[in-house]
Amino acid sequence: MEKLNTGLSEKERFGTVSLLYHLLADELVLYTKTRKYHWNVTGMQFKSLHELFEEHYQDIEEKIDEVAERIRALGHPALGTLKQFSKLTRLEEREDEDSDATTMLKNLVIDHEIIISHLRKDLDTVLEAYNDAGTSDFMTAFMESHEKMAWMLRSYLE
């Protein structure tokens, strides 16, 4: 591979990519959970939640691709195994706690908030420690999107 000459050192790019690997894993776990909830939601709000979960997992699916492409643009390979994602995610899978719509909503809000918190910290790190304004902006947009999704999910719980 030809050496990148984008104004970032290999050390800076690797630092940024290491944070993006966690984001990629988190997005994949959130995607899977949201898709599962889309399939399994029941109750009086079935139609609206089924459609909301579908809208969200489609958005998250696009985010997964965008994170992987950002990693590639920084000159590193994108991860692609469930084993790798399981090691790097900061989200929990709750197999036995997601049977009703309210629990599903609460679990998704928690996951979005975890991602938001990490993005808020990581976007500063990539700018200050790794000199990567592009990825900082990229992460800011992701944070704002997750804030909106969390707000929508929280609205069902009020």
pLDDT in tens, 121-152: 999 999 999 999 999 999 999 999 999 999 99
The neighbour count for residue 152, using CB atoms within 10 Å, is 16
Give the sign of the dihedral formed by CA 56, CA 57, CA 58, CA 64.
positive
Angle at 75 between CA 73 and CA 76, to 5 degrees: 110
Q: Which two tokens stand for residue 114?
A: 């975890």
Q: What is the DSSP code (8-state) at residue 6?
A: S
Query: What does the pLDDT look like over 26-62, one tens digit per residue?
Result: 999 999 999 999 999 999 999 999 999 999 999 999 9
> What is the pLDDT at residue 96?
67
pLDDT at 29: 97
Would you say the pTM of this structure is higher than 0.85?
A: yes
Residue linked to tokens 């988190």: 26
